[in-house]
Structure 1
Amino acid sequence: MAKVTLTVNGRTVSGDCEDRTLLVHFIREKLGLTGTHVGCDTNQCGACVVHMDGKSVKSCSILAVQASGSSITTIEGLAQNGEMHPVQAAFKDNHGLQCGFCTPGMVMTAVDLINRHGNSLTEETVRAGLEGNICRCTGYHNIVKAVLSAAAEMGTARQAAE
């Protein structure tokens, strides 16, 4: 057994797990944060994307012990003060979800994309950036629209704050 200590959604947490426990299973089973989904366990679908030290990662490809000491943000940690994150709101407003299974991973990937590219995102860069996330309902058009809408809104908010 290994001791894992993480900062998850701003809160320090610790727990014991087997050395082979994947981060996604630690998050879901040990911490009870089930918004991070297990889709494939093979690094293919992107349903398990979280932010580790500010960058999106597929939590099914990282052992919990490898992440120990890191700061993790899950989909549950995006909303602040009861307000949806702008990307979450854009997915809702632009119908960027259908069954919702892929949505947490898509949102987490989109937040990272926007953080890296700002409002310089284009449809092509969004589509390329989301290649590692699979939507089995084929809702990509509205997902891309939601990401571009959120990038524009977040860019406007950044400019107003400066």
Structure 2
Amino acid sequence: MSHPAAAVAVDALAGSDRNLVPVAVTERGDVGAVVVEGEKGRFTVIMEHHGTGFVAPGMIVGSYRSDQPRANRTPDQHPLQALSRKQFPVGTETDEPGWVAVTGTAALDAVSIQVISSLEETTEPIGETGLAVAVVRARTDELPRVVVHTADGRAVPAFMGQ
């Protein structure tokens, strides 16, 4: 992957896991999100663009990847395997909006992921490997809604308990 944020993310994760490979990048204004997979985990690195390049944050979060095969059809109750929602604050003020990254693995019939906060919403395509990744600005006290859209026109919400 040749995106400039990908190399910064892999460098920031050095020592966290082995065989780190950037698998997805999305940009929203001056913020880039890179999903990096390693032998044991999947990491989402959200970084801001400063001057001539991206700067990795001091805190990076990850979760274990699902080793389960992708389902043929999106289940009505849990549309994403290994769903992860991570909040990344921007400033030091508790009421200042930050960014929320959502990742997971979608079924074969999934075409897009929609993430909706009180500040904005975004819809991103599902990658050919099933990787779903989206980033939205959100208040620090909210958990944005996640909806997976399928090829047959269903809109399947991911519930908070998933």
Instruction: State the TM-score bracket (shorter-chain normalisation).
Output: 0.3 to 0.5
Structure with greater helix percent: 1
Structure with greater strand percent: 2
Return the TM-score normalized by structure 2: 0.33
